Homo-oligomer: A and B are copies of this chain.
Amino acid sequence: MIPGLVNSFLNSGGRMGQRIAILTGGGDAPGLNAAIRAIGRRALAAGDTLFGIRNGWAGMIGDGDVMTLERSRLSGILQLGGTMLGSSRVNPMKLEHGIEEVLRNIDRLKLDALVAIGGDDTLSVAARLAEHRARVVGVPKTMDNDLSITEYCIGFDSAVSVVTEALDRLHTTATSHHRVMVCEVMGRDTGWVAVMGGLAGGADMIIIPEFSVTVDEVVAHLEVRRKAGSDFSILVVAEGVEMDGLQSKNEAEGARDAFGHVQLSRRGVGENLARIIEERTGHETRATVLGHVQRGGSPTAYDRIWATRVGAKAYDLVVEGLFGEMPVVTNGTVDVASIADVVAEQRRVPRELYELAQVFY
């Protein structure tokens, strides 16, 4: 909290252009900085005054935690992972008078617009603020890729790349030792990372929340592969998968962290599945839990380009005064949708895509 800084804004006044603030909420993701840079460069080029809200919605609670962003602060960040603004999972809707505090800070900072970059949680707050006529624009970010309407979310392509690279590595050790390798990846409710990473990494079986599979079916599939001459197998499983005989639902619930991802301090589905496969088949089986490595590192070229494009479009929405709206990618193009619609439901892996992956089993 830097109240002094906040005050300095209140007094800065006078400068040409609008007063625009950016925040990033929820789990960090590669590409956030690319979006911040795109919004910020557009704003500074237009003569706006640019603020960064620190640590997500936390920076809009109480006295606020805000910094000014000059052009030099936006240099050299395009290729950096994480978020230069910091993030948190503080949700004003879960705090008493939280929404009011955010609204008051928007007022005190005399913001002409607030751009909120985040996933379901962060954008839900933005939607609520818009109901109060706050001048808020959203930008889609989630490594789970489960926001509805938009085909692109910041960070997803980078997460898929990390999974793909890990599967490439696991292949060499799987083939050398004729083993079964189980790789647990992100995906609490949906299997996007598992399906796309599994397709790209040549997984021999992909298990996701959308389509249930029994332990018997897994074991049977592995036996078919052995008989067909494949002496190793790579299984990808989304962390949110529940299988009878692996764990109780209560266990799984308890094992989730604040972002909804399975905590490593409890046995996850990957480890349980590996143990049972080894018991049932007699083949050496190992689990790898990628965890937070999936969130980190430099964004892929794809994530840099599209984060830039949706970021630039978010600034257009600010200029056009389209508050409560956000850029989305539909039909391969940057389009616009209402924030409320984007968070209304969860996008799930369609059967067609899941079946495509199965052809390669």
Contact of A289 among B76, B172, B289, B300 (CB under 8 A): B289
Bound-state CA distance A270–B270 (Å) is 17
Contact between A289 and B286 (Cβ–Cβ < 8 Å)?
no
With the chains together, A219 CA to B202 CA distance in Å?
Answer: 41
Given A309-B356, A332-B330, A169 and B81 touching (CB < 8 A)? yes
Q: Are B302 and A286 in contact (CB under 8 A)?
A: no
Instruction: Kindly identify, within residues 120 to 175 of chain A, every residue whose CB is under 8 Å from any CB belonging to chain B.
Output: 151, 157, 160-166, 168-173, 175
Closest to A270 in B: B264
Q: Which residues of B contact A256 (CB under 8 A)?
A: none
Q: How far is it, in angstroms, between the C-alpha of A89 and the C-alpha of B229 when the chains are bound? A: 21
Render A159-202 as a binary contact track against B, CB cut-off 8 A, 1 for contact: 01111111011111101111001000000000000001101111
Structural contact, A271 and B264, CB atoms closer than 8 A: yes
Measured CA separation A30–B258 after assembly (Å): 37
Q: How many copies does the complex hold?
A: 4
**Minimum C-beta distance from A307 to chain B (A):** 10
Given contacts A81-B173, A309-B356, A332-B330, contact A291 B291 (CB under 8 A): no
Contact string against B for A residues 298-329, beta-carbon threshold 8 Å, 1 for contact and 0 otherwise: 10111011001100100000000000000001
Q: Which residues of B contact A27 (CB under 8 A)?
A: 173, 177
Q: How far is the CA of A107 from the CA of B85 in the complex (A)?
A: 42
Task: Name A181's contact: one of B199, B292, B300, B302 (CB within 8 Å).
Answer: B292
A91 at the interface (CB under 8 A from B): no
CB 8 Å contact bits of A248-290 with B (1 = contact, 0 = none): 0000000001100001110100111011000000001011111
Measured CB to CB, the nearest residue on chain B to A152 is B332
A164:B82 contact, CB within 8 angstroms: no
Residues of chain B contacted by A199 (CB below 8 angstroms):
304-305, 308
Residues of B within 8 A of A293 (CB): 166, 169-170, 288, 290
Nearest B residue (CB) for A284:
B258
Residues of B within 8 A of A171 (CB): 76, 79, 82, 296
Task: For residue A213, give the distance in angstroms from its CB to the closest CB of chain B.
Answer: 19
Contact A168 B297 (CB under 8 A): yes
> A160–B272 Cα gap in the complex (Å)?
28
- State whether A28 touches B332 (Cβ < 8 A): no
The contact string, 1 if C-beta is below 8 Å from chain B, for chain A 324-340, is 00000111110000000
Q: Are B288 and A177 in contact (CB under 8 A)?
A: no
B residues near A349, Cβ cutoff 8 Å: none
Q: When the two chains form their complex, are residues B172 and A162 in contact, meaning their CB atoms are under 8 A apart?
A: no
A258 to B278, CA, bound (A): 13
| Least distance between A48 CB and chain B CB atoms (Å) | 13
On chain B, the residues within 8 Å of A76 by CB distance are 171, 175
Q: A304-B199, A331-B332, A332-B330 are in contact. Are A173 and B265 (CB under 8 A)?
A: no
Cβ–Cβ < 8 Å partners of A157 in chain B: 301-302
Task: Judge whether B172 and A301 touch: CB under 8 Å.
Answer: no
Give the 5 A-B CB pairs with smallest separation, nearest first.
A169-B296, A331-B331, A81-B172, A82-B172, A28-B176
9 pairs from A and B in contact (CB 8 Å cutoff): A37-B360, A82-B176, A169-B296, A173-B296, A197-B301, A263-B286, A264-B271, A289-B289, A290-B293
12 further contact pairs, Cβ within 8 A, besides A264-B289, A308-B360, A331-B332: A27-B173, A30-B172, A38-B359, A76-B175, A79-B201, A83-B176, A87-B176, A169-B297, A199-B308, A200-B302, A265-B271, A300-B300
